[in-house]
């Protein structure tokens, strides 16, 4: 799906989708819900967050990418609805003023920056790349999350912060490196708007963490298809929440949490196929290795200090992707760059709980910890 256009389904596909929604998904939800509930109960975990996580797992494992995009509203609509609802519920005029739709189309015509906060007053900006396996539009929870963690942290620390939320094209209609091209346009737009690199943070959750790493790589080893960006100093920081950094799904966290996490290995394999175009080619293929920093711990990681000063990763101790973040941190540290790498793991969390908190409209542990980290940058 390139822009805000929904995929076109045939009559047969529509009937199948109705069947899946009315019969298969509810059954799956009952089964997976019960299984995850038991897991959460036994381990004394947050029931609401784990149930939500089970719901997302059912969506990913029941529907194809095109079906998901038919069922869910596109990112820009979600943004408009979130701004309207949030502004309606907010009484404080100082907050209300920061809740206005402000959309900047990017040069490719298929992506845009959805601004959250007041970009005119802002001294710091967070380029945010949302997750959803590259196939799911963003959720209201993503906006809630960036508002709570970044914009409000700024207000509480007397530093105006705005979030440049990227609406990018979704897979499988748009594959790697389309999203990188769009992220590069967004970063270039932010620099053109007058922000200096030291005031820019880049980050994202899940697939957004993947896109963040791709963008950092682009800064040190430009991708031929993305617009060139010359930084005069490194970006302030990168933040990766439950990042998806590899297409290897056999680590111990992958095996251990395969049936209790928001994502399963089967889901990851199908998302991988949706997002990449290189599956059939050999692993030595140069273009393939470009997007695989973990498998090919190539020289570029050693140049990371030219792109960014700090990398902060957060993972759930009970998620399948936990090992990927740890390996990435080790790979970066092994290169002995000046980049400060921190990994924070919450022993009770599964995948992407900060966004799950956003969806439930609660400021929970993940949000509070991220705010603490972010305020340290301001
Ligand atoms: C924008 O999306 C359309 C529809 O998928 C596609 O045909 C076009 O090539 C895209 N434009 C760019 C610049 O990528
Ligand atoms: C991002 O995801 C793609 C698609 O699955 C994968 O091939 C690649 O290794 C990942 N790249 C990074 C930078 O993590």
| Residues 207-216 pLDDT 10s | 999 999 999 9
The count of C-alpha atoms lying within 13 angstroms of the C-alpha of 96, restricted to the half-sphere facing its C-beta, is 7
| Cβ 13 under 6 angstroms from ligand 1 | no
pLDDT of residue 287: 47
Which of 81, 84, 95 is CA-nearest to residue 160?
Answer: 95
pLDDT of residue 291: 47
| Residues 42-59 pLDDT 10s | 999 999 999 999 999 999
pLDDT of residue 295: 54
Looking at the DSSP bridge assignments, the partners of residue 237 are 201, 310
Mutation to probe ligand 1, out of 1, 2, 177 (largest number of atoms < 8 A from CB): 2
Q: How many CB atoms lie within 10 A of CB 268?
A: 22
Residue 3: pLDDT band with limits 50, 70, 90: low
Cα 323 to Cα 252: distance, rounded to the nearest angstrom: 7
| Cβ 291 under 6 angstroms from ligand 2 | yes
Ligand number nearest to the C-alpha of 294: 2
Distance 298 CA to ligand 2 centre (A): 14
Kindly tell me if the per-residue pLDDT of 330 is higher than 80. yes
Q: How many CB atoms lie within 10 A of CB 224?
A: 8
Would you kindly state where each structural domain of the chain is located, as residue ranges? 73-375
CATH class as words, domain 73-375: alpha beta
pTM of the shown model: 0.95
| Cβ 276 under 6 angstroms from ligand 2 | yes
Kindly tell me if the per-residue pLDDT of 289 is higher than 90. no
- Length of the chain measured in residues: 378
Cα 110 to Cα 210: distance, rounded to the nearest angstrom: 20
Residue 4: pLDDT band with limits 50, 70, 90: low
pLDDT of residue 206: 97
């Amino acid at each position: 799906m390139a822009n805000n256009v929904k995929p076109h389904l045939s009559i047969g596909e529509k009937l199948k989708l109705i069947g899946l929604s009315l019969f298969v998904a509810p059954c799956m939800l009952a089964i997976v819900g019960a299984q995850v509930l038991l897991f959460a109960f036994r381990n004394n975990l947050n029931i609401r967050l784990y149930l939500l996580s089970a719901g997302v797992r059912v969506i990913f494992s029941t529907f194809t990418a095109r079906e998901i995009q038919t069922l869910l509203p596109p990112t820009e609509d979600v943004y408009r609805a979130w701004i309207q609802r949030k502004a309606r519920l907010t009484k404080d005029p100082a907050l209300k003023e920061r809740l206005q739709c402000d959309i900047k189309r990017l040069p490719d015509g298929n992506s845009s920056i959805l601004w959250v906060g007041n970009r005119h007053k802002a001294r710091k900006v967070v380029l945010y790349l949302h997750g959803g396996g590259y196939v799911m539009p963003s959720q209201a929870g993503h906006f809630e999350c960036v508002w709570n963690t970044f914009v409000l942290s700024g207000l509480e620390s007397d530093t105006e912060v705005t979030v440049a939320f990227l609406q990018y094209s979704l897979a499988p209609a748009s594959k790697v490196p389309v999203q990188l091209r769009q992220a590069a346009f967004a970063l270039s737009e932010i620099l053109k708007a007058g922000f200096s690199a030291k005031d820019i943070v880049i980050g994202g959750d899940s697939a957004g963490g993947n896109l963040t790493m791709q963008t950092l790589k682009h800064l040190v080893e430009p991708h031929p298809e993305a617009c060139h960006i010359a930084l005069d100093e490194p970006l302030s920081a990168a933040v990766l929440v439950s990042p998806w950094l590899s297409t290897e799904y056999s680590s111990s966290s992958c095996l251990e949490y395969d049936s209790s996490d928001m994502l399963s290995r089967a889901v990851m394999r199908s998302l991988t196929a949706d997002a990449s175009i290189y599956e059939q080619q050999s692993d030595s293929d140069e273009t393939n290795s470009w997007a695989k920093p973990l498998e090919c711990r190539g020289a570029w990681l050693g140049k990371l200090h030219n792109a960014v000063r700090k990398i902060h990763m957060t993972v759930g101790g009970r998620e399948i992707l936990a090992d990927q973040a740890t390996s990435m941190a080790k790979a970066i540290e092994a290169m002995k760059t000046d980049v400060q790498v921190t990994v924070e793991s919450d022993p009770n969390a599964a995948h992407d709980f900060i966004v799950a908190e956003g969806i439930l409209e609660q400021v929970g542990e993940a949000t509070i910890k991220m705010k603490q980290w972010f305020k340290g940058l301001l």
